[in-house]
Amino acid sequence: MRLRIATWNVNSVRQRMEHLARFIRKAAPDVLCLQEIKCRPGEFPSSVFVDAGLPHLKIAGQKGWHGVAIASRLPIDTAPELHVCREGHARAVGARVAGVEIQNFYVPAGGDVADREANPKFDHKMDFFERLTAEMRRRDPRAPLAIVGDLNVAPGEHDVWNHRYMSRVVSHTPAEVEAMAALKGTLGFLDLAREMIPEPTKLASWWSYRAADFRAANRGLRLDHIWVSPGLRDAAFRLGSAACRIHPEVRAWDKPSDHAPVTADLSL
């Protein structure tokens, strides 16, 4: 069977209900992982997902900010709860679907200064990665596990519009890139977007609202990721190559999120 996983920072689920319904019709995800839903569980627009054929929901929300959710076409089974946010924010939610553990994260952005002592927000971001890395070191790489979400780091030289400039900007600083590499190395995770489209091709999933035309400005960052453990390598490559894509056309819709969705297919 095909299991299509999508991840999308929607920047307010209630403001993007029409976009969500449209994307689900267009991309036909089996599992849709959302970040920055900006609502409490009781405020989540469940009917949108039920009507779109994704009736099984797992929601971790809070008032005003943050929040993550998983909507699935298939039944959701219990997955470990990962307490990796020291501030207690709703930034992590997990589910098991068709035997695959899916962990969905909204990693802290980290503020403006890449200094752990001077900037508590950056320290929080680094701490989040350290806790998640410690958790993954305890896992079995043969187990079917996907890590997805807005990880708020563009790891590669070609995941940013200008490597030299962005190396001084939070989201692509050496410390963050190193932290992400440490997490990826714990189990030997496969970054499916880069497996599909290797460097040096530039890839991006986020573009600032500041640009009137994000495509003309062309200053994107690849902050949104789908990784799988070696236990899902065969499922990711069963058809010969990784089937993963970013959907920048969604960023061009009217009143969009500043992030584009990312999808990947597993053949189970």
For the stretch 30-63, pLDDT in tens is 999 999 999 999 999 999 999 999 999 999 999 9
Q: Please state, in angstroms and rounded to a whole number, the distance separating the CA atoms of residues 139 and 25.
A: 35
Q: What is the pLDDT of residue 182?
A: 98
Q: Per the confidence metrics, is the pTM higher than 0.85?
A: yes
Boundaries of domain holding 32: 2-267
Overall number of domains in the chain: 1
Query: Which strands, in side-by-side order, build the sheet including 190-191?
Result: 92-97, 100-106, 145-150, 224-228, 190-191
Of 170, 189, 174, the C-alpha closest to 112 is 170
pLDDT category at 261 given cuts 50, 70, 90 is very high
The per-residue pLDDT of the chain, averaged, comes to 97
Q: What is the pLDDT of residue 211?
A: 87
**Interval 12-38 mean pLDDT:** 98
CATH number at residue 68: 3.60.10.10
Cβ neighbours around 156 below 10 Å, total: 18
**Interval 146-164 mean pLDDT:** 98
Which tens digits make up the pLDDT trace of 101-153? Answer: 999 999 999 999 999 999 999 999 999 999 999 999 999 999 999 999 999 99
